[in-house]
Structure 1
Amino acid sequence: MNRKTASYDVVVIGGGLAGLSAAIAAAREGAATALLQDRPVLGGNSSSEVRVTPHGAGRFHAYARETGIVSELTIEDRASNHEQFHNNGWTNSVWDMTLYNLAVQTDNLTLYLNTVIREVHLSGEREIAAVSGHVLGTETELRIEGRVFIDCTGDGTVAAMAGNEWRMGSEGRDEYGEPHAPELESGDTMGSSIHFRARDTGRPAPYRAPEWAAKYDDPSFFYKHNRKPHDIQAGYWWFELGTPWDTIHDNETIRHELTRHVLGVWDWIKNKDPLTRDKAANYALDWIGQVPGKRESRRIMGRYLMTEHDVQQGTKFPDEVAFGGWYLDLHIPGGLLAPTSDLPGASEIISPYGIPLRILIAKDIDNLMMAGRNVSVTHAALGTVRVMSTTAIIGQAAGTAAAVALRRGIAITDVPELAIAEVQQTLLRRGCFLPNVENADPIELARLAEAVVASSEDLLAEVEPDHGAADSLDIRRSQWVAVRGPLERIGMWIKNEADQPQELRLELHRSEHIWDYEVKGSGIVAGEDFTAEPDTEHQPLAAARLEVPAGYAGWQYWPLKAGGDDQGGFPDEGYIRLDLLGTKELFWHHAASVQQALPSASELEPGRLRSHADGLTMSFAVSPPQPVFAAANVTNGVARPHRAANLWRSAKGQPLPQWLELRWSQPQRIGTVELTFPGSLLQDHNRYPAFFREPDCPRNYSIEAWDGKGWRTVLEILDNYQRHVSHRLPEQIVTERIRIVVHETNGGTEASIYEVRCYEI
C-alpha cells in the first residue's frame, strides 16, 4: 500500500459546484489549495453522473443570475457545448470537462479525484490538523494536512467526524416560529433523486420492464399529484425517495429503489399511459443515473443559524457574502411513497436575500468552514439555500474568506469582525454580486476618475412593440422604468380586441429595486389623475383610468402632472414601476426585443408579483427621454441592474466602434483593467441554447491610453464572450486617460459595459 502526505493552506473536501468554487477562489487568492473529490468527475449533482441542471435566483428574478466562478463556467459551457440542457437528465460530459479544465489550469490548486476521506485528525479539541483517506484504484493511502478546511461534502462528513454539532431533519415550529416548519420536530428529510434520458431512435423501440421494477397502473398517481410525465425525453425531479430511509446510511438502498421506480415509470410512459405511449413509441432509454442526487442530509451548525425569517424578511447582514433567491422548495418527505408530490412553498416567490459568512464557519471547530447544502440553516431555510447556483457562490465566498484569513494572519472565526470588508470587496472584484454591498475598494482607481465620457450615450425614450406578442391585462402586468427625475408622459402599446371600449387602469409606483414585488395600496380614482404624497408608503406615485376604443391597437399615452410637488416621489436616479390592469380583451404588447436593465413582472397572486418571462421587456415610451445609460454608470459601484440601470450603452443607430473614456486630474499608474459586460443574467443555465454567446457582450475590443499626444493601443482583445474579464496589461502605463473601444459585439447593435475597474498592479 502506498502512503503519501501533503500539506496545503486550504483543503476543500467535496468537488461539487460549491467545493470547486471554494477551491478555485482560494487558489486564485494565493492560497496553496487541495481539492479532494470522491468521484471521478467534478460538479456533484450537476455532473454527467447525476445530471441535475444548476438553478438559482436567476430562475425567478431578472438580472439575479449568480455570477463569479459559476457564471464563468456556465458561459464557457454554453459557448462550447453542442447540446442544450433542457432539464434534468440532459447534462453531458462536455460540462464535466469544462469544470475539470478550469480546475487543472488554476495555479495553486492540486486536484485529488476518486479520493474518499475516512478519518479526520484533530490538533487539540477545536482544530483539524489533517484528513486521511484512500485513492480508489491506486492502493494509495493519502494524508492531507492543512491550515483551513472547507467541508463541501454535502453530507457534512468532515465536520461530523471532527465532532462539530450538526442537525438532520426538520425543526419543530415552536423552535423558531417558521411558517414552513412542521408542527413537531421530525427526522424526515427531503429525498434523493436519480434521472433518466431517452432518445428518439427513429423507429419503434419496444420496452419490457424487468420483474423487479415497480408497477404503476393508476393515472391519478401522476396526473392528480404533481407527477406529470411532461417530457418523455428526460427527468423528473419527482423521482425522489428518502423517508423512511436515511439519505446517508441507506444511500445504496435508495439507489436501488429509485432504479426500480424509474423503470416502472418508464414502463407506464411507454406501454400504459394513453397520453404518452404513442409519443414515446420510438423512444428508448439511453441513460439511467446510478448516483442519487441528494437534497438534504446533515446541516452543520455554524456561528449563526439562518432561518426562514431571514429569508422571507431579507435580513441585512453586516457579513453578507452571497445571496439567494430560489423559492422555499421543501419537498414532501417520502417522495414517490408519499400521497402527493405537491410542493407547499412553490407559489411563494422570495426576493433575493443576503447570506452571511457566519453560516459558513463551524461552531465547534475553529479552522473549519462549510459550503453547499450542509451550511448552518434550518430545514425550512435549506429549501431555498440548497440549489446549486446558490451553493456555488457560497463556495466562492468560503474560499475567498479562507484565503483572506490566511493572508491577514487571523483566525477564520475572526473574519466576520476583522476582515469582512476585504472579503466583500474581493468578491465584488471577482465578479460576484452582493445585494447590499457596493464597490468601495480602496485600491481601485476607476472610481476616483473625475470624469467618465463616451462617444455616445443612449437615451431611454421608446421601446418599440412586438406586434405579434402580447399579454392579456386580465391580471396586473408591470414594467420597471429606469428614470432620472420626473416624467411628463408615459405610453404603452395597447390592443383592444373587444367591439366596445374597455377601461385601462394605470399606476406608477416607487420601486426600491427591480425585485420589489410588493403591490402597494391602489390610488385609482375614477375618471381623474391621482398623485400621492411623496412620503405615503402605501399609495402609488400616480394612478389613472383611460378608455381604450373598440378595436384599437396603438400607443396609449398617459399625461402626468409636470413639475412641482406633484412628482416629488420620482427618484433622482432609479426605477419606477408601471402597473397596468384591465380586462381579458385588453392586451399589452411585448417589446420587439429584450432591453437590458428593463424587466417586467406579472401578478402571481393578489398583492404579489413575479418576474415575467425571463426578463422580458414590455413596450413603453417616456417623455422626456431619460439619460439612464450614461457613461458614468460604469464607476457607480454596481455591476448589474438593481436599484438603477447601472449600464453604459451607446446610442441606438450609431455604428460601432464606440468608446468609453475615464479621465483623472493626475496621472495614474495602471497595470490591470477589469471589465464587466452584459452576459447571461436573465435565465438559468438550461434556458440558454447550444453554442450561445450573449449578443450584447463585446466580442472584439481594445484598451487605449493617452500618451499626451494621441491614443495608443495597449491591449487588443479578440473573440471574447465572457461577462467578467481581467486584463493584466503588457506593461504598467502612466496616463491621465484610458479608453475602452468596442469594435464588435457578439450580435448586438450597441456597445454596453456595466463596470470598469483599474488597478496599479
Structure 2
Amino acid sequence: MHKKTEQYDLVIIGGGLAGFCAAIAAARLGRKTCIVQNRPVFGGNSSSEIRVTPHGACAFHAYARETGIISELLIEERAQNHEAIFENGWTNSVWDMTLYNMAQSTKNLTIHVNTDVYDVIMKDKRHIKAVTARQLNAEKELTIEASIFIDASGDGIVANIAGCEYRLGSEGKDEFNEPHAPEVASKDVMGSSIHFKTKDVGRPTAFKAPDWAMKYDDASFFYKQGRLPKEERGGYWWIEIGIPYDTISDNEEIRHELTRHALGVWDWMKNKDPKMKELSKNYALDWIGQVPGKRESRRIMGQYLMTEHDPQNCTVFEDEIAFGGWFIDLHTPGGLLAQNSEPASNENYSTFSEYAIKSYAGPYGIPLRSLISKDVDNLMMAGRNISVTHAALGTVRVMNTTALLGQAAGTAAAIALQKNVAVSDAPKLLIKTIQQQLLRDGCFFPNYKNVDEKDLALGATLAASSEALLYGAGPESKGAHEGLHIWRDQPQYLQEKLENRRGQLIAIGSSNIEKIEVFLVNTSEAEQRVACQIRLADHIWDYRACELPTLAEGELIVPPGGNWVAWEVNLKDAPVGRYIRFDLLPNPKVEWKNAGRIESGQMAMYQISPTKMRRFGNGQTLSFKIHPAQPCYGPQNVISGVTRPHQFTNLWKSDPNLPLTQWLQLSWPKAQLIKEVELTFPGHLLREYHAYDPFYRDPQCPKDYSIQGYFDGAWNTIFEVKENYHRHRKHHLEKPISTNQIRICVHSTNGDPSAQIFEVRCY
C-alpha cells in the first residue's frame, strides 16, 4: 500500500451536493481545499448512481428556488441535457459531468474520489489534525491534514470517530413539544431507497422476475396505503426500507432487500396491475440502482440544535446563512415494511388535511451554529448530519437545502481561515462578513440583504431607457413561458372555483389605487355577491390568512357568465414599495380565472385553515387589472439588496412594447474606479427544477448584453457577452476604469420581450 501525506487549509469529507458546494465555495475564496468522496462521481443521492432529483423550497413557495452554486449547476445541467425530468430515476451522466466539470475547472481544489475515510487523527480532544483514507483501486493510503474539516459524509463518519455527540432517531414529545414528535422517543429513522427506470421500446415486451424477487399481489398495498405506481417510467421514492435494519451498519443488507422489492414492484406493474400493465406494456426495465439513497442516520450536535419550532415559526437568527422551505416530511419508519407509506402520500397529498396544514413550513432561515460541532473546535457539518432534531430534519434534509448549507460551511471556513479566527467563533465574530460574501456569491436570505460597504452601486443614481408598468393580466394574456411546466407529482391546488379564500399579491408603486378588476365566471343563473378585501402583506410568503392589516373592504356584484368585474376602491394612501393582497372570500358559484401569463413577482395563494394560506398552483397569477397601472419595476430596484421578489419585486423590467436594446444606467457625482461589475438576472426562481424542459434557457434571462462605461468623452464597451443563460455573472476588468457612469445594455433575451435585471454590483 503506497502511503502519502497531504496538507490543505480545508478538507471536506463527502461529495454529495452539500460537500461539493462547500468545496467549490472555499476554493473560489482562495483556500487550498481537498474534497474526499468514497464513490466515483459527485452528487451523492442526486448522482447517476442513485438518481434522486434535487428538491427544495420552490416545491412549495413561488420564487423560492435556491441560488448560489447549486443554481449554477442546475441551470447548466438543464441547458446541456437532452433528458426530460420525470422524477427519481431519470438522472443521466450529464449531471455527473456538470459537477465534475465545475470541480476540475475550480482553482485551489484537489479531488480524491473512490476514497474512503476510515480514521481520524486528533491533536487533542477538541482538535482534529488529520483524517486517514484509502483508495483501494489505487492501493494508496492517504493522511490528509488540514486546519478545518467539514463532515458532509451524511453518516457523520468523521464526527463520530472524533468523539462528537450525536442523536439518532426521533425525540419524544416531552423534550421539545414538537408537533410531529411521537409521544415516546425512539431510535426509528427514515429509510433508504433505490430507484428503477424503464424505457419505451416501441413494442410489447415481457418481464419475468427472478425467483428471489419480492412477490406483490395485493392492490391495496399500492392504492390504499400511499404507494401509487402512477408513472410507468419508474422513479418511486416509496421503494424504501429502514427499520428493523440499521441504515448505517446494515447498508448492504438494505441494498439487497431493496433490489428484491424494486423488481417485485416492476413485476406487479408489468404483469399484475390491471391499470399499469396496460400503460407499461411497451416498457422494458432500463436501469436499477444498486446504491441505496439514505435519508437519515446520525445528526451531529452543534452549537445550536434546530427544532421543528424554528422552521414552523420562521425563527430569525442573527447567524442566518441559508434557508429552507420543504414541508416537515417525515417518512413512515419501515417504508415498504410498514402498514402505510409516508403520511402526505397516504392522504393523496391533500393540502387541507390536518397533517398537511401542520407540515407546511417556511421559507425559514438556518443558523451557522447548527453547522459547527459543539465538541470539536475545527469541525463543521454540512448536509443531513447537521444539528437538528428528527422532526426538523424532515424539512432541512432535501438536497437543494443541503447544498446551501454546504456553500455556507465552505464560505464560513474560508473566511475564518483568512481572518485567522477559529471557526467555532465565526458566528459571533464573522457572521456579517460571511453573510455578505454569501449574498455576493448569489445566495439569498429571508431576513438579510446586501449592505456591502464596498459595493459602489449602492451609492449610485439609477436611470433606464424604459420601465414596464403593471397593468395585470387576463385569461387571454400570453407570456414568454416556453419550456416551463408544472411538476405533476407536486402537491398543488389549481381549483378556480371560490371554495375558499383566494388572494392575489399585487406590487404597489403608487399611493393611488382607483380600481381593481378581476375576471370571474358566475356558474349560476342568478346574480352573485363576493366579498373582497385589500390587505397589507409583509412579503410574498406572508401566509397569514386573516391577521394581515386590512386596508379596504367591499363587495363585488357578479352577473351570470364570464365578466370583468370592477371594484371602485379609491384607495388614496396605498403602501408604496410594498405588496397588497387582494382577497376574494368564498362563493362556490363563482370562479376566479387564472391569468394566461405569469406577471413577474405577482403570485397568488389560497386558504387551507382558519389561520393559514398556501401558494396557489405553481406560482400562477390570477386574472386581475389594476388602475392606474403600477410603476413597480423601476431601475432603483436593482440596488434594493435583494435578488428576487420578496418584500417588493426588486426587479428592473423594461417596457415590453419597446424593442431591444434597452439599458440600465448607474451614475455617481464623482468618478469611481471600477474593476468588477456583477449582475443578477431573473430566471430559474419561480418553480422547482423538475418543471424545466431539456435544453432549457429561461426566457426572462438576458441572452446578449454588454456593459459600457463613459470615459474619454464617449460610451465605451468594457464587456460584451453573447449566448448567456446564467442568472449570476461576475465580470472582472484586467485594468480598472475611472468613470461616473455605467450602462448595462440588454440586446436580446432568451425569449421575453423585456430586458430584466435583479441586481447590479460594482467594485
Aligned positions of 1:108-257 closer than 5 A: 108-257=108-257
Shift of 1:539: 5.3
Q: Displacement of 1:614 after TM fit?
A: 1.9
Partner SS for 1:715: strand
Alignment of 1:511-590 (within 5 A): 511-520=537-546, 537=547, 540-551=550-561, 553-563=562-572, 567=573, 570-590=574-594
2:96 aligns to what SS in structure 1?
helix
Residues 1:384 and 2:395 aligned together: yes
User: Do residues 399 (structure 1) and 403 (structure 2) align?
Assistant: no
Please state how far the C-alpha of 1:679 moved relative to its aligned partner: 1.3
- The aligned counterpart of 1:326 is 326
Q: Secondary structure at the match of 1:304?
A: coil
SS at match of 2:555: strand
Using the alignment, how far apart are the partners of 2:31 and 2:121 within structure 1? 21
Match of 1:32 in 2: 32
Q: Residue 330 of structure 2 contacts residue 342 of structure 2 at CA under 8 Å; is this kept in 1?
A: no
Q: Counterpart of 1:635?
A: 639
In 2, Cα distance between equivalents of 1:693 and 1:585: 41
1:419 is aligned, of 417, 430, 448, to 430
Could you list the runs of 5+ residues in structure 1 that have no partner in the other structure?
A: 521-536
The aligned runs of 1:1-12 (5 Å cut-off) are: 1-12=1-12
Shift of 1:708: 5.1
Say whether the 8 Å CA contact 2:537–2:548 is kept in structure 1: no
Equivalent position SS for 1:235: coil
Shift of 1:425: 0.1
Q: 1:474 is matched with which residue?
A: 499
CA deviation profile, 1:686-724 (whole Å, cap 9, x unmatched): 211100001010000000011152211111111110001
Matched residues in 1 for 2:226 and 2:643: separation? 39
Tell me, in whole angstroms, the C-alpha distance in 2 between the residues paired with 1:7 and 1:554.
Answer: 71
Separation in structure 2 between the aligned mates of residue 593 and residue 74 of structure 1, nearest angstrom: 24
Name the SS for the 2:278 alignment partner: coil
**How far 1:276 sits from its partner (Å)?**
1.1
Query: What's the counterpart of residue 269 of structure 2?
Result: 269
Which residue of 460, 477, 488 maps to 2:514? Answer: 488
User: What is aligned with 1:102?
Assistant: 102
CA contact (8 A) 2:521 2:592 kept: yes
- Compared CA separation, residues 346 and 262, structure 1 to 2 (3 A): farther
- 8 Å contact 1:134–1:141 — kept in the other structure? yes
Kindly state the Cα deviation for residue 495 of structure 1 after the two structures are TM-superposed: 2.0
Cα shift at 1:234:
1.4
Quote how far apart the aligned CAs of 1:498 are: 2.4
* 2:598 equivalent in structure 1: 594
- Structure 1 CA distance, aligned partners of 2:308 and 2:600? 32
Matches within 5 A, 1:621-700: 621-700=625-704
Secondary structure at 1:668 match in 2: strand
Aligned counterpart, 2:623: 619
Partner of 1:14: 14
Q: Is the 8 A contact 1:131 1:144 kept in 2?
A: yes
Q: For residue 719 of structure 2, what is the aligned residue in structure 1?
A: 715
Q: How does 1:300-311 map to 2 (within 5 A)?
A: 300-311=300-311
Quote the residue 1:531 is aligned against.
none
Could you list the per-position Cα deviations for residues 71-104 of structure 1 after superposition, in whole angstroms to 9, with x for gaps in the alignment?
0000000011001221011111101100110011
User: 2:708 maps to which residue?
Assistant: 704
Q: Which amino acid is the alignment partner of residue 472 of structure 1?
A: K
Cα shift at 1:245: 0.7
2:470 to 460, 470, 480: 460
Q: Distance in 2 between matches of 1:65 and 1:509?
A: 26
* Amino acid of the structure 1 residue aligned with 2:638: V
CA distance in 2, matches of 1:476, 1:275: 37
Contact 1:21–1:392 under 8 Å retained in 2? yes
1:352 and 2:363 matched: yes
Give the secondary structure class of the aligned counterpart of 1:465. coil
Offset of residue 467 of structure 1: 7.3
Equivalent position amino acid for 2:530 in 1: L
Q: Note the C-alpha offset of 1:474.
A: 2.3
- Report how far residue 18 of structure 1 moved: 0.2
Report the Cα distance in structure 2 between the residues aligned to 1:124 and 1:342, rounded to whole angstroms. Answer: 44
Cα-to-partner distance string for 1:136-170 (whole Å, 9 max, x where unaligned): 31001111110000000000001001111111101
Shift of 1:541: 2.1
Answer whether contact 2:455 2:761 (CA < 8 A) is retained: yes
> What is the number of residues matched between the two proteins?
736
- CA-CA distance at 1:346 after TM superposition: 4.3
CA contact (8 A) 2:151 2:379 kept: yes
Distance 1:445 1:539, change over 3 A: closer
Look up the SS of the partner of 2:504 in the other structure: strand
SS of the equivalent of 1:584 reads strand
1:85 corresponds to: 85
CA distance in 1 between counterparts of 2:57 and 2:142 reads: 38
Rounded to whole Å, the distance in 2 between the matches of 1:103 and 1:471 is: 47
Rounded Cα–Cα distance in structure 1 between residues aligned with 2:544 and 2:458:
33
CA distance in structure 2 between the aligned counterparts of 1:620 and 1:513, rounded to whole angstroms? 19
Note closer, same or farther for the CA distance 1:743–1:417 as it changes in structure 2 (3 Å cut): same
Partner Cα distance (1:467, 1:572) in 2: 26
C-alpha separation between the residues in 1 aligned to 2:32 and 2:309? 38
Please say if residues 467 and 589 of structure 1, whose CA atoms lie closer than 8 Å, have aligned partners that are also in contact. no
Distance, in Å, in 2 between the alignment partners of 1:543 and 1:189 is 49
Is the 1:466–1:589 Cα contact (8 Å) retained in structure 2? Answer: no
TM-score normalised according to structure 1 size: 0.95
2-structure distance, mates of 1:562, 1:135: 70
Q: Report the residue type matching 1:245 in the other structure.
A: Y
Question: Which residue is equivalent to 1:260?
Answer: 260
Q: What are the Cα deviations for residues 93-131 of structure 1, in whole angstroms up to 9, with x where unaligned? A: 101100110011001111110000011100011111111
How far apart, CA to CA, are the structure 1 residues paired with 2:575 and 2:127?
A: 51
Q: Which runs of 5+ in 2 are unaligned?
A: 345-354, 479-493
Q: Deviation of residue 507 (structure 1)?
A: 1.7
What displacement does 1:752 show?
Answer: 0.3
Q: Which letter maps to 2:420?
A: G
Match of 2:533 among 497, 507, 525: 507
Counterpart Cα distance in 2 of 1:538 and 1:158: 47
Alignment partners' CA distance in 2, 1:744 and 1:709? 27
Match of 2:483 in 1: none
CA positional deviation for 1:626: 1.4
8 A Cα contact 2:80 2:694, kept in partner: yes
CA shift for structure 1 position 351 = 2.3
Shift of 1:460: 1.2
Higher mean displacement: 62-71 or 130-139: 130-139
Residue 596 of structure 1 deviates from its aligned partner by: 1.4
CA contact (8 A) 1:351 1:517 kept: no
RMSD of equivalent CA atoms: 1.4
What is the TM-score of this pair, normalised by structure 2?
A: 0.95
Looking at structure 2, the residues matched to 48 and 173 of structure 1 have their Cα atoms a distance apart, in angstroms, of 39
Q: For 1:414-453, what aligned pairs fall within 5 Å after superposition?
A: 414-449=425-460, 451-453=461-463
